[in-house]
A and B are shown apart, each in its own frame.
Chain A
Amino acid sequence: MLRRVVTVILVLACAGGVIAYQATRRGKAPANPRVFVPSPTFFLDFSPSFRTSIADAYYLYMIQYYGEHVSGDGRLDSLPAMTRLVTTLSPHFTRAYLFSAFGLIDAGRPDVAYEILQKGFKANPGEWRFPAYLAFFIYTFGEKGPVKNELAADWYQKAAAIPGSPSYLPRLAARLLVKTGEREKAILMWGQAYLAGDKYARKKSVNGIRSVLPEGREASLKVLAPLSDTMPEADFKALLADLFPEGKL
């Protein structure tokens, strides 16, 4: 009887110790931010049946790795390798590219972020987010100067041209085109925004066009003429009516 009691107490004490240790021990990030990431070539030679599963596993690992280090030591040394691995094994995994891009900016590697987004766009030409994010990153993190505006505008235009893209993208492209001095292209973008947008977007587009029009109705109409080729006649007339309500110009 005594032996049984002692055994039960011992087992309970061990169980209590195990639970208490696990409950009070803090999980911390591995000390080394550099972890081994296999080359994509190794897995590409491996079975095509399991590539996406391996990509998914590394994607989850990448998220955990990012979370552990971004608020810890701030070092994300292995993030580029993980990103390349996941996107090589699963080229249509859009979220992996997009998450990685932001993570790579945090890691101080905008060059790899651009590389990844361009790789993603090449593999997924119908996904507007790749060129849109590229434009955003170039504009936000690129070196100040006319080149970044030009590049960003170029990517916004590409994004705006993809069916299903949001209606605000042409307006963003237009603003940047104005900064680079390409007024005609800017007007075309605003025209696209006018067509696709709601009442608010139309108002914004009209204000945008009006801000770059020259003085005088005739001169303005001359500048607006190319727009008539890109819009249905009824919409063009509506735009003109919004631009030149009675009493203005």
Chain B
Amino acid sequence: MRQLAAIAANTFKETIRDRVLAVIVVFALVMIAGGLWLGAISLGEQGRMMKDFGLVAVTGFGLIVAVFIAASLVHKEVDKRTVFVLFSKPVSRAAFITGKFLGLCGTMAVVLAGMGLFLFALVWLLQGSPSFMVLAAVLMIYVQLLAIIAVTIFFSTLGSAILASVLGICVFVAGQLSHNVLALTRLGSNTVTEALSWVIYVLIPNLTAVDVKAGVVGEQTLAWGQISLWVVYLLAYVVVVLALATVIFRRKEF
């Protein structure tokens, strides 16, 4: 456990101190603030525009940070040969993968908290009242990105960092279309297509199930009980993906 904590803390320090991350976050804050300009041309819907586009910016930039850092976490260690320093010590591959994941989770929490609180403050300024639903939406975005981080780390154990980034983004997009895949499983016309659809549906994380952006602007009635269960599902999904990543990483030689 101490090893896990040490690797997680090390990963957190390494990633949070990266200047590129700071630049991305500053850019994200500028884009979120850009919602003020959009609100000005919305004929009185400033609050809605700020919330909607702000949350899209948080999602987009959060995804960029998550995918590009997660993809390079393992690769950087191998390329720069810091794996030699790590695995010449009694460190298990499982502790390495899990520690890397937890460290990046910490970094993402800081990044999303920063963006989320900034958006919350801007919305409060515009509307005159706090909207705690914005914070809830950011929390759900965080949960989605945890799944994407895990998936990207898994792909990074298989191939290059660039490929892992691209696949991570693809899985995010696919996760938004999960309900379409489910519809394919119910076509009833072809058993093979249905079976394949079921496999794909299970493999792809269902990210829309925990998305509450529509609820923030009043377009969706939120069933928090259901959403909580989906959150637990995503966390279980993360555990399975990390386990698979560990199995693959165990076979690697340096």
Q: Do A and B bind?
A: yes
Name A's B-contacting residues (CB within 8 A): 45-53, 56, 59-60, 63-64, 90-93, 95, 99
Asked if residues B43 and A56 are in contact (CB atoms below 8 Å), the reply is no
Residues from chain B with Cβ under 8 Å of A46 in the complex: 176-177
CA distance A49 to B27 in the complex (A): 23
Asked if B93 lies at the interface with its beta carbon under 8 angstroms from chain A, I say: no
Asked if residues B43 and A52 are in contact (CB atoms below 8 Å), the reply is no
Report 19 cross-chain contacts, Cβ distance below 8 Å, ordered by A residue: A47-B177, A47-B211, A49-B208, A50-B56, A50-B213, A51-B219, A52-B217, A52-B219, A53-B52, A53-B53, A53-B56, A56-B49, A56-B52, A60-B38, A64-B41, A90-B219, A93-B217, A93-B219, A95-B44
Residues from chain A with Cβ under 8 Å of B179 in the complex: 48
Query: Which 4 residue pairs of A and B lie closest in terms of their CB atoms, listed nearest first?
Result: A47-B176, A49-B211, A56-B52, A53-B56
Residues from chain B with Cβ under 8 Å of A92 in the complex: 218-219
Asked if residues A95 and B43 are in contact (CB atoms below 8 Å), the reply is yes
Asked if B104 lies at the interface with its beta carbon under 8 angstroms from chain A, I say: no
Give the size of the chain B interface in residues (CB under 8 angstroms): 24
Beyond A47-B211, A50-B213, A53-B55, 19 extra complex contacts between A and B, CB < 8 Å: A46-B176, A48-B208, A48-B214, A49-B176, A49-B207, A49-B214, A50-B176, A52-B219, A53-B52, A53-B56, A56-B48, A59-B45, A60-B38, A60-B41, A91-B219, A92-B218, A93-B219, A95-B44, A95-B45
Given A52-B219, A53-B53, A60-B38, is A45 in contact with B211 using a C-beta cutoff of 8 Å?
A: no
**Interface SS of chain A:** helix
Residues from chain B with Cβ under 8 Å of A47 in the complex: 176-177, 208, 211
Report the minimal beta-carbon distance from A247 to chain B, rounded to whole angstroms: 51
CA distance A92 to B56 in the complex (A): 19
Asked if residues B213 and A52 are in contact (CB atoms below 8 Å), the reply is yes
Contact flags B180-222 to A (C-beta < 8 A → 1, else 0): 1000000000000000000000000001100101100111000
Asked if B42 lies at the interface with its beta carbon under 8 angstroms from chain A, I say: yes
Given A47-B176, A48-B208, A60-B38, is A99 in contact with B43 using a C-beta cutoff of 8 Å?
A: yes
Residues from chain A with Cβ under 8 Å of B208 in the complex: 47-49
Given A51-B214, A92-B219, is A45 in contact with B180 using a C-beta cutoff of 8 Å?
A: yes
Residues from chain B with Cβ under 8 Å of A45 in the complex: 180
Report the minimal beta-carbon distance from A60 to chain B, rounded to whole angstroms: 6
Of B42, B44, B219, which is in contact with the most chain A CB atoms at under 10 Å from its CB? B219
Residues from chain B with Cβ under 8 Å of A91 in the complex: 219
| A52 interface neighbour in B42, B44, B52, Cβ under 8 Å | B52
Residues from chain B with Cβ under 8 Å of A63 in the complex: 41-43
CA distance A91 to B221 in the complex (A): 13
CA distance A91 to B52 in the complex (A): 15
| B213 interface neighbour in A49, A64, A95, Cβ under 8 Å | A49
Residues from chain A with Cβ under 8 Å of B211 in the complex: 47-49
CA distance A92 to B48 in the complex (A): 12
Residues from chain B with Cβ under 8 Å of A59 in the complex: 42, 45
Residues from chain A with Cβ under 8 Å of B218 in the complex: 92
Of A45, A50, A52, A56, which is in contact with the most chain B CB atoms at under 10 Å from its CB? A52
CB-contacts of B106-120 with A (<8 A)? none
CA distance A59 to B44 in the complex (A): 12
Report the minimal beta-carbon distance from A75 to chain B, rounded to whole angstroms: 21
Q: Residue on A with the closest CB to B210? A: A49
Asked if residues A60 and B213 are in contact (CB atoms below 8 Å), the reply is no
Residues from chain B with Cβ under 8 Å of A56 in the complex: 42, 45, 48-49, 52-53
CA distance A59 to B208 in the complex (A): 23
Contact flags B43-75 to A (C-beta < 8 A → 1, else 0): 111001100110110000000000000000000
CA distance A248 to B44 in the complex (A): 50
Report the minimal beta-carbon distance from A204 to chain B, rounded to whole angstroms: 30
Report the minimal beta-carbon distance from B147 to chain A, rounded to whole angstroms: 14
CA distance A48 to B182 in the complex (A): 14
